Structure 1
């Protein structure tokens, strides 16, 4: 959720830009094939929004920094935005149920419960986390970190997912910025909100590879959008 964007409405999801819909640490492990958490830090959660990944990681003694423009707002404002988002997301998931593999979550109700858990954990950590440098107000494609600050940068449900609102040049610039601050960048999912593979992905990979980056598509132990079973891994 790095940049506010006016999204072209899909048939099922009627959203007002990039929405605050956070995930939990266990989901991040599946999205990004994070088998050994003890060896992943320091990590940047680029566009973390109200995810509880940074909060839960801190409890485990892991170094995770989340960056998002929404952190400029108070916890109360973020919670209110979540409530508005929840209505649209739940309606969209019901309408688009045929497009999802429900094996991981089980039901739309279970997803909503997880999102509320993530929000609660995030809000409980937010004020202390800001003081400790765990939540940084920032927006791609410019981040306030020096080169090579992180071992790993993650983009969960932002890049490529909102490809109808964020153009090709934005994706290229965002990926280079993430590669500037991290040794490796992982992005998931690689489908857009309509459940189709992102049209930006092949071109972005070509541009990055042409300028020396190593790009790979890797299977992950997660599928919600049918067919979206791979993440993009890029190294400098």
Structure 2
């Protein structure tokens, strides 16, 4: 079937399903199907720079595919309105948001490697190895608390954020920010962690189990 018959939301969700399965259970045979699906998605982008960004970001084992599926590419359901993310007039907007998000992810990845100690900034080294995530704590790593438009970019004592992080954290850089760009995913699993956990903003540090329960009770407006 011609890929133009599929909406970008459908193509993205197809890729997410296949890529997450591949990351969880690497399979040489499955790789071909993932590559074909990825190509169909990339064919929707005509600028070489956009394609290059997506080629680098989307296959990364820490790119939050599952969370973008739940936010940017999820329908929005309100008391008196409904936004169908398969509307064709939304395709250019969704495509641009995906490129911008991928670009932010790559920049943060690079910053962690070059400006900080990548082995200590977050809860696990983000070196492509399956390090064990923290366990035995109240946080279930669902990532819902990070489905936010922004937080005050207030670093802990003796920590200086790069200037462009201030906009990322405050929600002033990415268009229609629905998710913290510092939220990473763990190898395709429904587990999400803060890429700057050990130097995260003070407003995030005070978020506790009670806040978590309240946040889970109010999951927002996103549908499937």
TM-score by length of structure 2 reads 0.27
Higher-Rg member (1/2): 2
Could you say which structure has the higher helix fraction?
2
Could you say which structure has the higher strand fraction?
1
TM-score by length of structure 1 reads 0.26
